[in-house]
Amino acid sequence: MAAKVPKLWRLGLLLALAGISALGWRYGYPWWVEREQASYLAQCSRAQELRQWDELERLSSDWTQWQPDSDDAWIFRADAAQRKGDFSAAVKSLSAIPDTSPKALPAYIGLATLQFGPANQPLAGVRTSERLLKLEPRTAAAHQQLIEFYAITLQREKLIKQIRHAIELKREPRSAYVYLFLIDTMRLDNAVETNDNWLKVHPDEEIFMVARGLQLPEPGPGVDSAYGNKHKIIAELLQRFPNNIELLAYQTDLAIRVGNVSEVAKLLLRVPPAADNDSRFWSAKGWLHLNQNELPEAKQALLRALELHPLDWGARNRLADLTRRQGDLDEAQKFDNLLRQARRLRERMTEEHSADVEKVAYELLSELANHARRCGDKQVTDALSSRLSGF
């Protein structure tokens, strides 16, 4: 719907037709507009300072009706709505600010924060973050928002891509390195609750249903029975979403853990072409060849897994087994040394930073840089080496 023409504009047009000079209209009206803008700005700032949210809402609402293209008016209106707990209205206000506004970047950062958080509009939050990166690819907040979202929803391929892109632009959060290293065993403390919350507004969304199931704790002593049987939940989800890569990867790993060779072979046949660059399935393929004593094929698959994800300690563990079988004990020892370092890093990261990965210690990141160098991950090595001093 088109914005209404302010009454003063209509009055001005009538007066102009009645004989008001063109000079007076040309210079007098802009002066009046500037005066009104300054008045609204002062009044809104004052109401904000005094925490008078009803008054701020009234003033900013009047301002946006008069000047719907005023970014300041919409920002004040969003703040009033947020302070009053009307997060949906706050989202609408910030969404009204155009890309061309000089305040678009901070406004959209706030918008995405609301969408991922109290407004509970995560899919819209993804679109806003992507919009931010189109406007300014080096927006660190947008990279972090997407990285956190993909970590919570266990979208592995998108998570790796986003992390690597952020590292390339030198805009990665500290958590990126933890997620990248733990990517195949990562389970976040708040993930089940967060996905449950998102499922309230997107009850049939595959991404959230699968992520919730995968983020559940593994069955065992001390696990809350309220979570249900994780293995049963995953099996039911796989029935519903038979081509879901994350579910297939979990079931394949579960079959490997119990040594079910035939099940691993069946599951690998179900993997869609979209997973061709997923190191997990190449590693599983290597495991399958190892169990069938097909060593050359196993080595080829495992090296491909490490090419795709140099920090994949599961593939490296299987490669160590392969080299031992081939009688190359020196090479196997090198792999074992790397695996011990990886295990130590994994335990420390899991124990010390499960609640807040942004607080991972400098010392731990330094050790990760050393591990990445030994694994041949040049991007992570170079990035950590050059940026540790800046954290």
Does some domain include residue 280? yes
Query: What is the Cα–Cα distance from 210 to 153, expressed in whole angstroms?
Result: 8
Query: Average per-residue pLDDT in the chain?
Result: 89
pLDDT confidence of residue 156: 96
Least confident range of 138-152, 242-256, 279-293, 321-335: 321-335
pLDDT-above-90 percentage for the chain: 77
- Assess contact for 125 and 142: CB atoms under 8 A: no
| pLDDT tier at 4, thresholds 50, 70, 90 | very low
Give me the mean pLDDT over the 284-313 stretch.
Answer: 97
Q: Could you give the number of structural domains in the chain? A: 1
- Answer whether residue 276 is part of any domain: yes
Question: Which domain CATH number covers 246?
Answer: 1.25.40.10
Task: State how far the Cα of 380 lies from the Cα of 368, in Å rounded to an integer.
Answer: 9
Whether 70 is covered by a domain: the verdict is no
Contacts of residue 218, defined as CB under 8 A and 6 or more positions apart, other chains included, come to 230
76/115 Cα distance (integer angstroms):
18
Dihedral sign for Cα atoms in the order 185, 190, 196, 197: negative
- Range 36-42, long-range pairs (CB < 8 A, 24+ positions): 36/66, 37/67, 37/70, 40/73, 41/72
Whether residue 174 lies inside any domain: the answer is: no
Residue 48: pLDDT above 90?
yes
151 assigned to some structural domain:
no
Report the SS3 class of residue 312.
coil
Cα–Cα distance for residue pair 259/44, rounded to 1 Å: 67
Q: What is the pLDDT of residues 321-364, one digit of tens each?
A: 999 999 998 988 999 999 999 999 998 888 765 556 667 788 88
Q: What is the pLDDT of residues 275-292, one digit of tens each?
A: 999 999 999 999 999 999
3-state secondary structure 17-86: HCCCCHHHHHHHHHHHHHHHHHHHHHHHHHHHHCCCHHHHHHHHHHHHHHCCCCHHHHHHHHHHHHHCCC
Overall average pLDDT of the 225-254 stretch: 90
Give me the mean pLDDT over the 153-178 stretch. 96
Closest Cα to residue 370, out of 360, 358, 355, 382?
382
356 in a structural domain: yes
Residues 313-329, buried b or exposed e (16+ Cβ, 10 A)? bbbbbbbbbbbeeeeee
Examine residue 367 and state whether it is found in any structural domain, yes or no: yes
Range of the domain at 381: 205-215+228-390
